[in-house]
A and B are shown apart, each in its own frame.
Chain A
Amino acid sequence: MTEVTQLLRDWSDGRNEAREAVLQLVYDPLRELAARHLHRERDGHTLQPTALVHELYLKLLQQRRVDWSDRGHFFAVAAQMMRRILVDYARRRKSDKRGGGAVPVTISDALDVAAQESLDIVALDEALESLGAVFPQQARIVELRFYGGLTIDETAEVLGISAATVSREWMMARAWLRRALEVK
């Protein structure tokens, strides 16, 4: 069993330090790649984090040393990474825009897509953080659903809870996050 696989198991057994370790292990090489990519893009007029994200996923998939046989865990890690990539990107963009720190960086900025234009990446991240402090399970559901693209059923499978529960908690988490973002 590879180190990552073991860590993934530990994570699923509820050992949160394992989660951090997984992210470090998988994320660091990717972040390095991301940095290079951003550097290359900087000279051009358009920055394309979507390409970056896409490439990151490909790299992740290509990591043959990692036993990704557990699809659920893969998406869990992927979702976490997606969240981090976006937030990192948004924070960097914010600091780039000197003096304009208050301007939010939205998901459509990051991904160049029409939808979700009003969603502030950093604000969403912070709201999710505070949700997680109160309802950790709801925060994980959001992470898997929104960042990881998992369906209700898949989320239920990864978390080992019923689909009905996922559905219920998702509903409330959405209400919570939406309210948190509105207040801001």
Chain B
Amino acid sequence: MSGGRDASRTDGDLAAANVAFWERVREVFHEAVALDSTARRELLADADARVREEVASLLASHDEAGDFLDTPILAHARLDHLTGSLVGPYRIVRLLGEGGMGAVYLGVREGAEFEQRVAVKVIRGGGESILRRFRQERQILAALEHPNIARMLDGGTTANGAPFLAMEYIEGTPIDEYAATHHLSVHERLRLFLTLCDAVQHAHRNLVIHRDIKPANVLITRDGVPKLLDFGIAKLISEVTVDATVTRMMTPDYASPEQLHGLPVSTATDVYSLGVLLYGLLANGKPFDGERRGDSEPVRPSLRNRALRGDLDNILMMALQSEPARRYGSVEQFAADIRRHLAGHPVTARPDTLLYRASKFTRRNKVVVAAAIVVAIVTAIAFMATLRQKRIAEHRFEQVRALARSFVFEIHDAIAPLPGSTRARELLVRRALVYLDGLAAEAQDSAELQRELARAYLRIGDVQGLPYQANLGDTAGALTSYRKALAIAERLLDDESSDEALLLAAEAHDRLGLVEQRALRWANAMEQHQTALALRGRVSAQGPNERVQLARTWVAIGDCRYVGGQRVAARFRGDGAAAYEEALRVLEHVPHRGAHLAELLNQIARANQRLGGYYSNPGRIAKFGPRCVAYHTAALHALEQRAALDASNAIAQRNVADQQVMTATAYVRLKDGANAVALAHSAIETLNALAAADPTNVEAQHDLAFAFETAGDGYAIDGKWDDAERAFQRCIDIRRKLVAGDASNREDLRGLAMEYERLAHVYEARGQGARAEKLRAESERMLAKM
């Protein structure tokens, strides 16, 4: 056996020597490869003969390597499965490109006398009736003959039944790239663009809309001839593709607003896309900063390129009008204006009139064109200021006032639920404030206008930063606006003590109080709410609305007493529950019908919910268990009624689920597992529906986590350990996702740690001590990390 060991040592030595040799080769190669031939020779001269030989040979191979292995196999393999096969009469040569809707191949006509190269577009999707329509459309497109349009040659289905189109294969450069590399002048760019317009015009005359004009679809051949590709393809594809992916697939940069909104397209759609394309050619940039939304207003081209000031600015802005009817009526007109500009004649495009833009919102769907409306608001307010300066007739002033009121009170609400509307809302608020301030100074003598202004300030303050509802998080701004409203109301009160002025002042105080509450300045908050209470007491006509508002003030006072405790001034201290009960008493005889119903139900729910919370306090629940459940149930009942008023109101639905979880938590504290589980599951059902309706709604996920947690607690009470485990596990899954999506989300991270703790308890109860220990350790580790 000793011989064997010797032999292996010898092998090892050899291997070691080998390793050393190759290491040396590697070192020298790396050093030499960066040098020129003379320096290489010098370097190699120093190396020993074997190393020298090896490195020299590798260097020689390296110098000859070219693009050897540079193209990964995968580059060929992806989706390229038609290469070599026959599609219709065409033999597929290679893949040219691919996208979500299919792939484009280079093909040649099999058996043709001369080589005819075609672009073969194979589209995903199929089905008999769809294919029939596809064939009809194809024939229309095949009839399109124009020197600047790539011809549609053929179409059909592949062996696998996928629809395909064969088009003239164009070798060329995208127009924007071409213009840049050839350093074309503005004049030359316009000329090129005009040729393109001819092509589009021709198609429009044949009743074909392109729908996807973008630089990648406008190739300039080696001879400088523009060729428009893919005419009408977007439509064909949309007809064969079942899902709505086409619009998503379209380059949103070039798509018109109507396309983005899925509205009917027209020749004006192509005008718009041509406008974007020309914009890119002239201004060297896109018309929109950052992410484009719905009806973003283009940046004036002259801001990107000063040379475009005047005609070209106006021409582009006209082509880029978000409303189709406001654009050039045809590509012909668009082109004609460019020709006029080139010839030095006056163009038809004019800067937008303020009056037009201020009024156009009324004709349009509020939600769909929300972003455009914001622009309109800003312009309209500017318009209003202009009117003020000009001191034009009183009735016009009133019109504008009505318009402004609609903006501040209605439009904001319309756009607020739109995802991502925050910036638009900010802009709205900022600009509205500037002009409101101006108007306030202007209208000192009209009490009616002053009241209106106070309401507008309150409203704007809410948007800026009213706590406990969606706001822009601008607390300082909110305080300023509320104080402005208050100042106006107080001035009005100086003149005469009208109910309206009293209510406005009370509202301002209540809102100031809420902001103070949020900042945990309980003493200040209480002062505000007490003042509001006093003002409300002076109101002579106590109708339903007044009562509902009074109840809200009482709830706020209860909060200050209950949560603020010793921090509020001694004279205002008291039992929170008594204030909440007072709120309920105020609401007792308010009729459950009329415009105030939703708000009435909300306030009933709030007061009951607070009382439920008050009695579910660990120190009270043992004694007041039934009372606690009764209040929570009453709150739930009111919220359910509220939600039933408007089934599409997601917030109302969420409030119901929220209350269900709260009630379930109370049951957990009362050790009533069955009721807790039942309520938690109702909440889960609602929240699942909400989450499904809006997958981006993080809040719904957050609520779901709580609901599952509560369900788990309920199961644990009854010793249903498997069910409890499942519920906690679901909760953990959700929280993990939430934490993964937002690293700063400490609330869910902490929640996660607590969930581990709960799950550990389940394992322990089932006698799985080791698993429980592991989870506990993990939980502690997470908490320690925070």
Bits for B646-676, please: 1 = Cβ < 8 Å to A, else 0: 0000000000000000000000000000000
* CA A53 to CA B78, docked complex, whole Å: 8
- B residues 60-91 near A (Cβ < 8 Å) are 60-62, 64-65, 68-69, 71-81, 83-85
- Partner of A86 from B68, B73, B75, B83 at Cβ < 8 Å: B73
Kindly identify which residue among B22, B26, B68, B77 contacts A111, using a CB–CB cutoff of 8 Å.
B77
Inter-subunit contact A179/B58 (CB<8 Å) = yes
Main SS at interface, chain A: helix
Q: Which of A12-20, A26-34, A93-101, A113-121 contacts B (4 or more CB under 8 A)?
A: A113-121
Inter-subunit contact A178/B71 (CB<8 Å): no
- Complex contact B58–A175 (CB within 8 A): yes
Establish whether residues A50 and B30, one from each chain, have CB atoms under 8 Å apart when the complex forms: no
Which residues in chain A, 142-184, are within 8 Å of chain B measured between CB atoms? Answer: 142, 145-150, 168, 171-172, 174-179, 182
A114, A148, A179: the one within 8 Å of B94 (CB): A114
Contact bitstring B300-329, A, C-beta under 8 A = 1, else 0: 000000000000000000000000000000
State how many angstroms separate the Cβ of B61 from the closest Cβ of chain A. 4
A113 interface neighbour in B22, B68, B80, Cβ under 8 Å: B80
CB-CB contacts of B111-152 with A at 8 A, as 1s and 0s?
000000000000000000000000000000000000000000
Contact residue among A51, A53, A114, A147 (Cβ-Cβ distance under 8 Å from B93): A114
Provided the pairs A178-B61, A178-B65 are in contact, do residues A113 and B72 lie with their beta carbons within 8 angstroms?
A: no
From 77 to 135 in chain A, residues with beta carbon under 8 angstroms from any chain B beta carbon are 82, 86, 107, 111-116, 134-135
Contact A175 B59 (CB under 8 A): yes
Known: A112-B84, A113-B83, A114-B94. A175 touches B77 (CB 8 A): no
**CB of B57 within 8 Å of the partner chain:** yes
Q: Is A5 an interface residue (CB 8 A)?
A: no
Given A111-B80, A172-B29, answer yes or no on A177-B69 (Cβ-Cβ < 8 Å): yes
Q: How far is the CB of B438 from chain A (nearest CB, A)?
A: 56
* Residues A149 and B73 in contact in the complex (CB < 8 Å), given A135-B26, A179-B58: yes
Which residues from A are CB-within-8-Å of B84? 46, 48, 112
In the complex the two chains form, is B94's CB within 8 Å of A145's CB?
A: no
Enumerate chain A residues within 8 angstroms of B29, measured Cβ to Cβ. Answer: 172, 175
A40 interface residue, CB < 8 Å from B?
no
Residues A178 and B73 in contact, CB atoms below 8 Å apart: no
Taking residues whose C-beta sits less than 8 angstroms from the other chain, chain B's interface range is: 20 to 34
B33-A146 in contact (CB<8A): no
- Determine the main DSSP class of B at the interface with A: helix
Pairwise interchain contact B81-A176, C-beta atoms closer than 8 A: no
Is residue A64 contacting chain B, with contact meaning CB distance below 8 A? no
Total count of chain A residues near the partner, CB < 8 A: 35
Hey, which chain B residues are within 8 Å of A65, CB to CB? Answer: none
B18 to chain A: which residues have CB within 8 Å? 134
Q: How far is the CB of B347 from chain A (nearest CB, A)?
A: 49
Tell me the minimal C-beta distance from A81 to chain B in angstroms: 11
Would A111 and B74 be within 8 Å (CB), given that A54-B81, A146-B69 are in contact? no
B62 touches A54 (CB 8 A): no
Check B57–A149 contact: CB distance below 8 A.
no
Tell whether, in the assembled complex, residue B26 and residue A145 are in contact, meaning their CB atoms are under 8 Å apart: no
Which residues of A, 14-68, contact B by the 8 Å Cβ criterion? Answer: 46, 48, 50-51, 53-54, 57
Are A175 and B72 neighbours in the complex by a CB distance under 8 Å? no
For the complex, give the distance between the alpha carbons of A98 and B689 in Å: 64
Whether A113 and B58, one on each chain, are in contact in the complex, defined by CB atoms closer than 8 angstroms, is no
Partner of A50, one of B58, B64, B83: B83
A115, B95: Cα distance in complex, Å: 12
Chain B residue, CB-CB nearest to A53: B77
Q: How far is the CA of A176 from the CA of B71 in the complex (A)?
A: 17
- Which chain A positions have C-beta within 8 A of B62? 171-172, 174-175, 178
CA distance A170 to B761 in the complex (A): 54
| Cβ A145 vs Cβ B72 within 8 A | yes
A-facing residues in B13-63 (Cβ within 8 Å): 18, 22, 26, 29-30, 33, 57-62
Scoring B22, B65, B76 by chain A CB atoms within 10 A of each residue's CB, the highest score goes to B76
Q: Which of B22, B61, B80 contacts A175 (CB 8 A)?
A: B61
Q: How far is the CA of A150 from the CA of B61 in the complex (A)?
A: 23
CB distance from A25 to the nearest CB of B (A): 22
A174 CB, min distance to chain B CBs, angstroms: 5
**Residues of chain B contacted by A115 (CB below 8 angstroms):** 71, 76
Bound form: Cα–Cα A50–B79 in Å: 8
CB distance from B111 to the nearest CB of A (A): 17
CB distance from A26 to the nearest CB of B (A): 17
* Contact of A168 (CB < 8 Å), options: B22, B30, B65, B73: B30
Contact A142 B69 (CB under 8 A): yes
Q: Which residue of A lies closest to B93 (CB)?
A: A114
CB distance from A15 to the nearest CB of B (A): 21
By beta carbon, the residue of chain B nearest A177 is B69
A54 with B78: CB separation less than 8 A = yes
Q: A175-B62, A176-B58 are in contact. Are A54 and B77 (CB under 8 A)?
A: yes
Which residues of the partner chain A approach B57 to less than 8 Å between Cβ atoms?
179
Q: What mask results when residues 362 to 400 of chain B are scored 1 for a CB within 8 Å of chain A, else 0? A: 000000000000000000000000000000000000000
Binding site for B on A (CB under 8 A): 46, 48, 50-51, 53-54, 57, 82, 86, 107, 111-116, 134-135, 142, 145-150, 168, 171-172, 174-179, 182
Interface, chain B (partner A; CB < 8 A): 18, 22, 26, 29-30, 33, 57-62, 64-65, 68-69, 71-81, 83-85, 93-94
Q: What would 23 A/B residue contacts be, using CB atoms closer than 8 Å?
A: A46-B84, A48-B81, A51-B81, A54-B77, A54-B78, A107-B73, A111-B73, A112-B80, A112-B84, A113-B76, A113-B83, A115-B71, A116-B71, A116-B73, A146-B69, A146-B73, A147-B74, A148-B72, A172-B26, A172-B29, A172-B30, A175-B29, A179-B60
Please give 6 more A-B residue pairs, beta carbons under 8 A apart, in addition to A171-B33, A182-B61: A54-B77, A145-B69, A146-B69, A175-B59, A176-B61, A179-B58
Q: What are the 10 A-B residue pairs with the smallest beta carbon separation, nearest first? A: A149-B74, A175-B62, A149-B72, A51-B81, A112-B84, A179-B61, A113-B76, A175-B61, A175-B58, A112-B83
